[in-house]
Structure 1
Amino acid sequence: MRRFDGKTLLVATHNAGKLEEFQQIMTPKGITVTSAAEHGLPEPAETETTFIGNARIKAHAAAKATGLPALADDSGLEVAALGGAPGVYTADWAETPQGRDFKMAMEKTHAKLIAAQAPQPWHARFCCTLVLAWPDGHDEVFEGHANGQLVWPLRGLDGHGYDPMFQPATKTRTFAEMTTDEKNALSHRGAAIKALLQGCFT
């Protein structure tokens, strides 16, 4: 496995929250974190049907354009009773002309479960794939998962995305009812980041 030995890491995102999250992790390690938005990079079309495929598209496009190692993630929710949907199309289910509306996406998911007469518990898992790519074309892949079930009605005000609908396994609260630290200890992204740090940054 290739180690990261540079001083600057490009996070292939236009999401300010995601950029801040990685800055908090990498800055104490003496690594400067920049974003695709700061480099004026367009968002490449995510044409793959897997989380790994889409993360690779974003990471390699950013690394090739800037000459910097680039980190990209692709994540989503897989619902067992819906055949793994929405999966890589999780964000698409929330798209509206005014931007992403995850309350609408959760209502859509609930409606599909009811229409399918899916018995409870509604098993689901969050998936996160991180790809760290270098300008020479090499990459390393890290995955994290959080197993649990979907609940209705929605619970909790914190978090984002599907957090108010997702209750992790063995817990009685949704991600949206937990503190950031509690969620990070259980989340798919937390698991993927832990694997990334152990693999390439320690």
Structure 2
Amino acid sequence: MATKQKIVLASNNAGKVKEFNHLLAPFDFEVIPQGELGVPECPEPFTTFVENALAKARHAAQITGLPALADDSGLCVHALSGAPGVLSARFAGEPKSDARNNEKLLADMQGQTDRRAWYYAALVLVRAANDPQPLIADGVCTGDILLTPQGDGGFGYDPLFWRADLQKSVAQLSATEKATISHRAKALQKLIEQLKETGL
């Protein structure tokens, strides 16, 4: 029986580790969170999701010597010129708080009639720290910002992110429903297509 190829995930998010392990299982990959391998968090100084994801992937590969997968994702709002964007997790400052981020978003959106928004995810896979051709894929999930939170599922801005086609906020969706529209799932699907073509 062949040994599974280990890939370090530039995150310690248990949900992401589980999701990526499941979706990458057909490739005989084992996804390991970077914390288990002693990788500290990487600074994310860039203004784009792709640059931050690439920095995180190269950082994890450099320290572990393994192929590395990173994602950077967040919420972008038309009326706020794309904010909170790469600052989505820390929109209301430190320490990170979904509740305070949602409060700030609602305050910043006060009086806005244009409620259009989108979730965006960028995924980057590097074979080595100096990989000249990283695999890059992205995904988008569009919706609108509600006036008040609805639902208690999901995380982040999900209670405020409305899908008119489903007549639900993302926080009201089941895990299966969310997976069909998720920005991260769409990005991972594109990455898998690239893996089928190029291999690791």
Q: Same fold (TM over 0.5)?
A: yes
Structure 1 counterpart of 2:21, which letter?
Q
1:201: Cα distance to partner?
4.0
The ranges of structure 1 where at least 4 consecutive aligned residues each deviate by more than 3 angstroms after the TM superposition are 94-97
Among 133, 141, 145, which residue is 2:140 paired with? 145
The CA distance in 1 between the partners of 2:35 and 2:92, in whole Å, is 22
CA contact (8 A) 2:121 2:140 kept: yes
- What are the superposed Cα offsets for residues 92-119 of structure 1, whole Å, 9 maximum, x if unpaired? 115444xx221211111011111xx311
The CA distance in 2 between the partners of 1:171 and 1:183, in whole Å, is 11
The CA distance in 2 between the partners of 1:154 and 1:10, in whole Å, is 35
Q: Does 1:113 find its partner at 2:106?
A: no
Partner of 1:3: none
1:37 is paired with a residue of what secondary structure? helix
The CA distance in 1 between the partners of 2:174 and 2:93, in whole Å, is 27
Compute the RMSD of aligned alpha carbons.
1.6
- What are the superposed Cα offsets for residues 17-72 of structure 1, whole Å, 9 maximum, x if unpaired? 21122122223542211111011011111011100000000001111211111000
* Farther off after superposition, 149-158 or 6-15: 6-15
2:70 is paired with a residue of what secondary structure? strand
Among 104, 114, 120, which residue is 1:127 paired with? 120
Structure 2 counterpart of 1:168, which letter?
R
Partner of 2:152: 157
Structure 1 counterpart of 2:113, which letter?
P
Aligned length: 192
The CA distance in 1 between the partners of 2:28 and 2:43, in whole Å, is 32
The CA distance in 2 between the partners of 1:75 and 1:52, in whole Å, is 9
Partner of 1:77: 75
Among 35, 58, 61, which residue is 1:60 paired with? 58
The CA distance in 2 between the partners of 1:94 and 1:39, in whole Å, is 31
Among 86, 89, 99, which residue is 2:87 paired with? 89
Structure 1 counterpart of 2:102, which letter?
M
CA contact (8 A) 2:90 2:97 kept: no
CA contact (8 A) 1:74 1:129 kept: yes
**TM-score normalised per structure 1:** 0.89
Partner of 2:35: 37
Could you tell me which runs of 5 or more consecutive residues in structure 1 were left unpaired when the two chains were aligned: 1-5
The CA distance in 2 between the partners of 1:67 and 1:19, in whole Å, is 19
Among 178, 186, 191, which residue is 2:181 paired with? 186
Partner of 2:16: 18
**TM-score normalised per structure 2:** 0.90
Q: Does 1:103 find its partner at 2:96?
A: no
Q: Percent of pairs identical after alignment?
A: 37
* Farther off after superposition, 17-26 or 188-197: 17-26
